[in-house]
Amino acid sequence: MLTFLVVCFVGSVLSARIPSQRNKLDFQPYSDSEDAKLTVLQIITKYGYPCEEYQVKTPDNYILTIHRIPNGKKPTQTTKEVVYLQHGLLSSSADWIISGPGKGLAYVLADEGYDVWMGNVRGNKLSRNHTYLNPDTSDEFWDFSWHEIGYYDVPTMVDFVLERTNKESLFHIGHSQGTTTFYVMTSLRPDYNSKIKAHFSLAPIAFMNHMTSPLMHVVAFWQKPLSVLLNLIGVREFLPSNEFMAMGGNILCGDDSLTQILCTNSLFAICGFSPNEMNATLLPIMSGHTPAGSSTKQFLHYAQEINSGKFRRYDYGIVGNLQKYGSMWPPNYDLSKVTAPVYLIYSNNDWLAGKIDVERLYKSLGNSKGRFLVSEKSFNHLDYVFGIRARELVYNKLVSLMKH
């Protein structure tokens, strides 16, 4: 079993590097899963919402895509509050709209009168670009973890949004890795705290030694040899989404298909899922957009957290750490420097955000304002974005906290 999973992990990393397999499959989606094939911009427009798309450049020359829904279907006259949504690992801005109008968080917030912005971090298929590094051929492109995402990408996008909207501060909502990168940003660049009106962590991830995901346990167990192996073969991209995945999703996950469960993609393999909270009709659409791609270093950095029980920078080994940080161990992220108001929303059945770890995070933060346990016991990590009852169980609470 363990060996099988490791082979899958390495295999997926390797196959991700064979570009010839991409783009060759001429694939016709079923009409009811048309959204699997459309871009984020096309989907939002299709449902009658205005949508804008921007490209921004980070200080280290990655080119990122940002989406905006400036207003809901009934535009309001009052000056709008700005909310910025940050997706998780292997995901993209598509997360916030896949469930459709009235369900996806981006639509819900737009309908509530917010100016909604959605970031995409380096390495996902919407931000797989750089001014001079080629993601298909350059290992240097993939040499990043969520550290760089929190240090460069999120601040760049937050600044862009504030400049465009002429605001001093915004609401920040993160899911999963989108919470980790928030904590990296505000602990290492404390001047960003004043740009955050409030932050809401959906499935908060900082400490990880109580997480229960079997696949992540395996990655953590093999973290050292995997690091060595990946350094040797020079492969750094993990599972970008492509037409092949979209096709797999459609063939295996059509509503009438008995093999529906088999379509479970790497995202579900890592995060688990609660059958009761999942809308099976959405599976082909999800598979068209996720996994959206990331670097292997993001996984290895999380695996290090699982092993060390610390929220700290990437571990390069003693020699590498001495060179990079001037100390034998990587420095911790100082959570007491996170002085923006933070609300944590967590759940019982979350494979990745364990309750003990969330409580430790809550006590470590500089300005914890509240923590809320989702009332549904089976609510899992991905249900915050894809769950049938996400609105009822989470988003309504979010909106009332934001209005307050």
List the beta bridge partners of residue 65.
55
* Residue 275, CA distances (Å) to 88, 209, 268, 301 in order: 21, 26, 11, 29
Considering the candidates 67, 130, 199, 381, report the single residue annotated as catalytic.
381
By beta-carbon proximity to ligand NAG, the closer residue of 219 and 286 is: 286
Rounded CA-CA distance 217/210 in Å is 10
Site for ligand NAG, rule CB under 6 A: 63, 100, 129, 131, 279, 281-282, 388
By beta-carbon proximity to ligand NAG, the closer residue of 61 and 194 is: 61
Rounded CA-CA distance 336/252 in Å is 47
Q: Is 400 a catalytic residue?
A: no
User: In angstroms, what is the minimal distance from the CB of 155 to ligand NAG?
Assistant: 20
User: In angstroms, what is the minimal distance from the CB of 4 to ligand NAG?
Assistant: 32
Considering the candidates 93, 145, 176, 227, report the single residue annotated as catalytic.
176
Q: Are 288 and 37 in contact (CB under 8 A)?
A: yes
Structure tokens at 237: 């991209």
Using alpha carbons, select from 101, 127, 123, 132 the residue that is nearest to residue 16.
123
By beta-carbon proximity to ligand NAG, the closer residue of 276 and 336 is: 276
User: In angstroms, what is the minimal distance from the CB of 279 to ligand NAG?
Assistant: 4
By beta-carbon proximity to ligand NAG, the closer residue of 36 and 342 is: 36
User: In angstroms, what is the minimal distance from the CB of 145 to ligand NAG?
Assistant: 22
Q: Which residues of 303-312 are buried (b: 16+ CB within 10 A; e: fewer)?
A: bbbbebebbb
By beta-carbon proximity to ligand NAG, the closer residue of 141 and 146 is: 141
Rounded CA-CA distance 121/91 in Å is 9
Using alpha carbons, select from 230, 63, 55 the residue that is nearest to residue 133.
63
Rounded CA-CA distance 334/184 in Å is 9
Using alpha carbons, select from 29, 98, 22, 23 the residue that is nearest to residue 286.
98
Q: Is 176 a catalytic residue?
A: yes
User: In angstroms, what is the minimal distance from the CB of 166 to ligand NAG?
Assistant: 26
> Catalytic residues, which ones?
176, 381
